[in-house]
Amino acid sequence: MVVGLNISTAIPDVPLPTTPVNGAVGVARMPTLTWVAATQGDTYTVEVSRNSSFTQIVYSGPVSTTSATVGVNLDTSETLLLARARRAKMTAAKASSRRFSFTTLSQRDYFTSCSRRSSGSFDLTYKSLIFIPDGSANHYGLCVQAAASFPTDPTGGTALTMTDDGWRQISFSPAVKLYGINYTSLYINSNGNLSFTNGDGNTSGTFAGRHFAQPRISALYDDLNPAAGGTVSWRQLSDRIAITFQNVPRWSSGGSNSFQYELYSTARFT
């Protein structure tokens, strides 16, 4: 048996918080907290509380580095207190950092627009929208570019038998990320969208009542009917999954709708 022993010659210094800065506003709901290492400090306990006495802890976690990402979604527009990036496992030698406050984002940009092609407000025809994590409070930066074909060739993927207003659940590995949350399964809904909690047969997506009722990505949220034509398939690749709707008609007016989702293990998606 090999036993490791770390010996300290003095009480650890007080850790010095660096981000978010004291009084910061518009901070992400799952922020990354950083601090300067304490002399003779090795592991730390990070705490976020709703009050200065730290009797209303909303997050607490041990770390062995000088940064930690809060593992829960904090409430919007809430002023919270970060403190005590402190030495762990030595009750007599814990040194708490200074307490400082920050306010979470009132409402992040979810890059969601409710529009119709006939209105000309935002036409997605032959366009690719690329969402790239950028460390901001909104979590993603958005890049729009022309698209003449599917980014991922759907050939060789698994075709799904879809009913009208139905859904199919798929599972995959490695996990993909949406707003920092890992998922190893999702629901492909017949009406053109992906949901991450439950299957959804609703035929149109209002903001409050439908689209935001659960974690969701909607390239096209409309009354489609893949049972009447076209194909819906998904393909697993080493770094992503690709889900393709190809030549799928609308329930009432027919036509042909083709679009594709790509979800990466790096949290990028298109």
**Tens digit of pLDDT for each residue in 71-97?**
777 776 666 655 554 554 433 344 555
Selection from 270, 258, 203 nearest residue 231 by Cα: 258
For the ranges 1-15, 235-249, 251-265, the lowest mean pLDDT is seen at 1-15
Q: Which one is predicted more confidently, 54 or 148?
A: 148
| Amino acid at position 270, single letter | T
What mean pLDDT do residues 247-256 have?
91
Q: Is the per-residue pLDDT at 255 higher than 60?
A: yes
**Tens digit of pLDDT for each residue in 38-80?**
766 567 888 888 877 778 888 888 888 888 888 777 776 666 6
For the four alpha carbons of 158, 199, 257 and 265, in that order, the dihedral sign comes to negative
CA 246 vs CA 51, 200, 214, 227, 259: distances in Å: 53, 20, 25, 12, 7
Torsion angle in degrees (nearest 10) through CA of 38, 24, 49, 58: -110
Q: Which CATH code of 3.40.630.10, 2.60.40.10, 3.40.228.10, 3.50.50.60 fits the domain covering 16-104? A: 2.60.40.10
What confidence tier does 156 reach under pLDDT thresholds 50, 70, 90? very high
Q: Is the per-residue pLDDT at 177 higher than 80?
A: yes
134-144 burial, b at 16+ Cβ within 10 Å, e below that, comes to eeebbbbeeee
Distance (Å, whole) CA 230 – CA 246: 6
Q: Where are the domains of the chain?
A: 16-104, 117-264
What confidence tier does 3 reach under pLDDT thresholds 50, 70, 90? low
Q: Do the beta carbons of residue 183 and residue 162 sit within 8 Å? A: no
What mean pLDDT do residues 164-186 have?
93
What rounded mean pLDDT belongs to the chain? 80
For the ranges 74-88, 131-145, 173-187, the lowest mean pLDDT is seen at 74-88
- Beta-strand relationship, 240-250 and 44-49: unpaired
**Tens digit of pLDDT for each residue in 227-243?**
999 999 999 999 999 99
**pLDDT value of position 23:** 83
Please give the full DSSP string across 222-263, using - where no structure is assigned.
S-B-GGGSSEEEEEE-SSEEEEEEEEEEETTTEEEEEEEEEE
**pLDDT value of position 239:** 94
**pLDDT value of position 250:** 93
Q: Which one is predicted more confidently, 87 or 151?
A: 151
Put simply, whether the predicted model's pTM sits higher than 0.75 gets the answer: no
